[in-house]
A and B are shown apart, each in its own frame.
Chain A
Amino acid sequence: MAVISYREALRAAMREELKRDDKVVIMGEEVAQFNGAYKVTEGLLKEFGPKRIVDTPISEAGFIGLGIGASMLGIRPVMELMFWSFSYVAFDQIVNNAGNIRYMSGGLINCPIVIRGPANGGTNVGATHSHTPEAILASHPGIKVVCPATPYDAKGLLKAAIRDNDPVYVMENTILYNDKGEVPDEDYIVPLGVADVKRIGTDLTIVAHGRAVITSLKAAEILEKEHGVSVEVVDLRSIRPLDEETILASVRKTHRALLVEENKPFCGVDAQVAYLIQSKAFDELDAPIHRVSSIDAPQIYCKRMEDQQMPSVDRVVAEALKVLA
């Protein structure tokens, strides 16, 4: 077991899968010679060479479509988006092609692609670079979406994604890249569709994904120390497929739910989770489901205000107390 960063965990996942399967190719802007805009792919070009680690021009629709086309013949491209915000220029390829080709061919074809990159706000880069599109993408049958919050989950989910024979989109977070955590040395995956109870508790269930998990864990500490409340934190890890059972089991135990997400409110991931809980565990609830999303506006530039716009620890604590009132 080693303690490594989220960034190193992602890199290790790619290294191991590049070694394991010679059809795996890493592609994206600045991934090779520049060592990655966020240094996630650092050292891979030196180790694997330019056939396996490919610098692309700035043409997301072009290179992502190229990766999808190549995957139909068995290549397994792992394509980096410098920001998931850049996915919108490739939306047709990502959704219409990767997501639909299997279905439209009546099951004759599959597209084993991975698209990975940061999908987060909180970095002071403004509205066009701060998107968290997991909900939009997960709304399309044909697509899979995962969202790791820790180094262990980052490595395990990325390896599972690369081995998965369907399109898997990995939502990372630049702010989490430096977070450290224990990661096994031996080969392992985190299966898609399995949530993780990151903190066991009895009074309130917080469901979160991505960096909101880390925020919720901090809020849970405060709620315990300062308010004597025992909070359970469920980390979704996988958006589509979704581990409904773990969410429901937790709600059945605590009878109160607070959903926390970086998404903006309208049809954020938690809108789906809220429907699920009230649909399948209505009688278990002692209070309405509450939710902390990002404040509903394009991502503001001013840093102090952006920190308020995001689901901050203070806002999570305050909303938790409302659910428990």
Chain B
Amino acid sequence: MLEMLALSPPGWGGVLLKGLLNTLEIALGAYSLGIAIGFGGALGKLYGGPILRWILEIYTTLIRAVPELVLILLLYYAGTDLLNQTLESFGYERVDISGLAAGIFVLGFVQGAYSTEVIRGAMRAVPAGQIEAAVASGMWWSLRLRRIIVPAMIPFALPGLANLWLIVTKDTALLAVVGFSELALATRQAAGSTKAYLMFYVVAALLYLAVTLVSQAVFIYIERHYRRGQVARS
């Protein structure tokens, strides 16, 4: 039974590990993109004009109401189509978008909606007095953001962001449905060709679980680091 997990070709261990690596790569990319969108989105929601706020509200509401699986298909086809049409209209050749880039874009766009809400909530939680103090000391908008709002909001945002990381690592499995060879698809291939369904799915589940447990430990450490300056709540 276990020789099927060997790292070299007759065994599928190498394929699974490669899949895990792809999963982590997509997750990391999508998470970073999501936080970038979320940061911009939160600023837009808090400081933007009515039209920008309205657009962002539609974005976060729609993305959070439609199943990820549907979004992945929609964004994947719409995204690649849009890019190619744009390229063609400027006279360039059509391009094939790599699975990795498309996966990162699609999941990142979905994550962005959730990150926007998390970061907006965290920014609102920064005590008004601290921001007023920054204004009073003559800090300009960007400086205030960099020196006061962002560092003060991180402890509030961390639990939500940690949750989003755990969600995105698991959501990468959905990309198997569109055919990206990450861990879930690699497992499916391994299971299908060896007929050892139970064993391979259990192994995949254990790999995902390991990622989750390690991430949780890391986030506990990070949170402790960022909370060191906060007054303990009674």
Q: Do A and B come from one complex?
A: no
> Which residues of A come within 8 Å of B, CB atoms?
none
> Which residues of B come within 8 Å of A, CB atoms?
none
